[in-house]
Amino acid sequence: MVRVTVSEGILEGQVLDNVLGGKYLSFKGVPSADPPVGDLRFKAPRPPKKWNGVRSAKDHGPICHQFYVFTMSVRPGAEDCLFLNVYTKTVKPSRPAPVMVFIHGGAFVCGSGNSDLYKPDYLVHKDVVLVTINYRLEILGCLCLDIEEAPGNAGMKDQVAALKWIKKNIHNFGGDPNNVTIFGESAGGASVSMHLVSPMSKGLFKRAILQSGALNSPWVIVNEPVERAKAFARSKGKDTDDVYELLEFFKSQPVEALIAAPVAITFDEACTGLYKPTFSVVVEKKFGNGKTFLHDNVPDVLKNCINEDVEVIVGVNGDEGNMLLGLCNLDPVIENYNRLLQSFIPLDMNWNINIRKQLEVGRKVKEYYYGDKLVSSDNLSGLAKKAGMINFVHSVVQWAKACASKQSKVYFYVFNCLNIERAFFSSTFKTKSWSGRPGVLHGDELMYLFAGEVFEEAPENLKMVDKVTTLWTNLAKFGNPTPDESLGAKWLPFTVEKQEYLDINDTLTLKTFPFKEEIQFWERIYDEYLAEHNFTT
């Protein structure tokens, strides 16, 4: 047992064995905010209250009650779910250690920071303090009624509250509050990119890592959030246009009624066959002197780009789209792609160009990926590539170009290490890759950062684990993932002119222009049809 005193009281954690050897200290289930229940539902979080005596920190706090989209099943949890976990080698180091704060993914509808997926052993072994966090999900974290009582982005403000708690308390765990690196994957990566521009987050961290997600990814920020709230209420038997009636209705519902209920508000959303979350991040309205997390449209945000003096790693995996097809019922998806050209276009074009232009884009995209062939179960590689490009790759590359054009120091990567035994998602998804090889799916890099209970720690696996964790923790320690060439490569910052990136595989190779042909195709499409969303034009 080990005890630490934080601003709210005394925590008692425990000493655990590291799978790589040695030991580390674990403090789980630490409150990062007051329980967001009752009248606090849908509101910004409040600081946690003090407690008397010694609080046990040996077990995780409850996860947020959620519908886990990767297995299409309910994961029981609680509305009182704002907890974080701290892992460190020692609470009394000779000098304060760099801090890394992980923000989990899950499309803002599912996930947690718990060690069943994000076991800390690999990163703590590299002499950093690791923190993982929870934040409110789905409607509880994202309801926006455009009123002061429900302005939106409660889940993002939960993340800010966790960062504030870390800034205030992490020195008690041996961490350096002035050297905090935030990192996240998918919705977590998109969250990191938003913290880089949000006024609420300024000064709470020093460096950042975005894995397979950015704020300009078309699934991140939703349109018509109030209309979505009305549609959701109608699905529950409440039909009203009065937002205050809606608020009281949502506050009266049990938490079990507020998950696993995606509703469509457009024909496209109703017919594609693809899972789309109903609620997500919004551009907030300002109310009086109240603080907003995000109040500018994405194009305007990226024109100004990120806060100065922040070093960033950003990147994607080689076969991002395979996972998306693995989540859907393919028969209706294939049918829709063959009868509706609109199926081929990105979500942001659905909302921002007229039907005639949508059909033009659909024809060009279909021609690019399929020529004169129909989509079938035998040739799904085109859909997998298109899904990965429009949901992750194109937007992340555009984000990097926008930042590099403002002289921000950005290190870009493409993760191509193929090892089914160390995949984040199941081997079922990987055998459905439709591209002639299993593929490196969305999320697969996570198992090289976090230890997993079911994975064999074979020597060849651990060599790759060491490379990836060294790159990530080097950024946290030095602001440069390769301060020397001990890993066999020098990772150069990304520039608009050469688009340098590190190909992360069994060997590390510096290359230029990731996904060059496909990126250029999509940049031409955006230049012609939605130039304001192509952030470097």
Q: Which residues contact 297 (CB under 8 A, 6 or more apart)?
A: 283
Catalytic residue flag (residue 7): no
Catalytic residue flag (residue 442): yes
The kind and range of the H/E element at 27 are: strand 23-31
User: Among residues 26, 112, 115, 186, which one is catalytic?
Assistant: 186
CA separation (Å) from 136 to 225, 447, 457? 17, 24, 33
Label each residue of 426-440 as H, E or C. CHHHHHCCCCCCCCC
Distance CA 125, CA 118 (A): 14
For residue 492, what is the DSSP state? P
User: Both tokens of residue 157?
Assistant: 């403000």
Distance CA 361, CA 339 (A): 15
Q: Which of 140, 262, 281, 275 has the alpha carbon at shortest distance from 221?
A: 281
């690019």: which residue's tokens? 368
Q: Which residues contact 506 (CB under 8 A, 6 or more apart)?
A: 417, 464
> What residue type is assigned to position 490 of the chain?
K
User: Among residues 60, 104, 125, 442, which one is catalytic?
Assistant: 442
User: Among residues 185, 284, 311, 320, which one is catalytic?
Assistant: 320
Q: Which of 225, 202, 60, 199 has the alpha carbon at shortest distance from 133?
A: 60
Catalytic residue flag (residue 320): yes
* Surface-to-core class of residue 167, CB atoms within 10 Å of its CB (0-12 exposed, 13-18 middle, 19+ buried): middle
Active site residues: 186, 320, 442
